[in-house]
Amino acid sequence: MQKATFAGGCFWCMVTPFEKQPGIHGIISGYMGGSVEYPTYEQVLTGETGHLEVVQITYDPTIFPYEKLLELYWPQIDPTDATGQGNDRKSQYRAAILFHNEEQRLLAIKSRHDLEQSGRFDKPIVTGIEEASVFYPAEEYHQDYHRKNPEFYKESRVYSGRNDIIEKYWS
């Protein structure tokens, strides 16, 4: 098993694209990259801790290779937005691929380059490719949020602008 970590706005919206894929053995919402140890959601929400909201995926690369994870990741975000995603505007909502090893780093760079060359976007691709750091799982009520609170999740997804991003750039 390997780990893959992605930031792309609110972590609630980043779970569902990956969860039913073959070879995916777990997805945990959490925080990465900040200066506070064991941050709480309330701390991260201020935008002052430096953490990103992320999903960390445990996967079997022989069944679902990292390249396929990247193919699923890009259509979930606006890769031209350096300050958040949709209506989620603080620094914790910035998009980034957080690599765990050199192979992931090189594959992420290649996938970003391929997206840049595709001509799909009029603006530069600004999604970061950064080394993974300490991962802090989010509080339990954030895990599988879309299942625990399906109606509020649907409303939040619309309010966040996630559906608009996908429609605008990826449909």
Helix pair 12-19, 66-73: axis angle to 10 deg: 130
Which token pair is 75? 């259509």
Q: Which of 4, 7, 10, 54 is catalytic?
A: 10
Active site residue 10: yes
User: Of the candidates 156, 141, 133, which has an alpha carbon nearest to the alpha carbon of residue 50?
Assistant: 133
Which token pair is 127? 């999604």
How far apart CA 140 and CA 143 sit, in angstroms, is: 5
Distance of CA 7 to the CA centre of its chain: 3
User: Of the candidates 29, 34, 36, which has an alpha carbon nearest to the alpha carbon of residue 8?
Assistant: 29
Catalytic residue positions?
A: 10
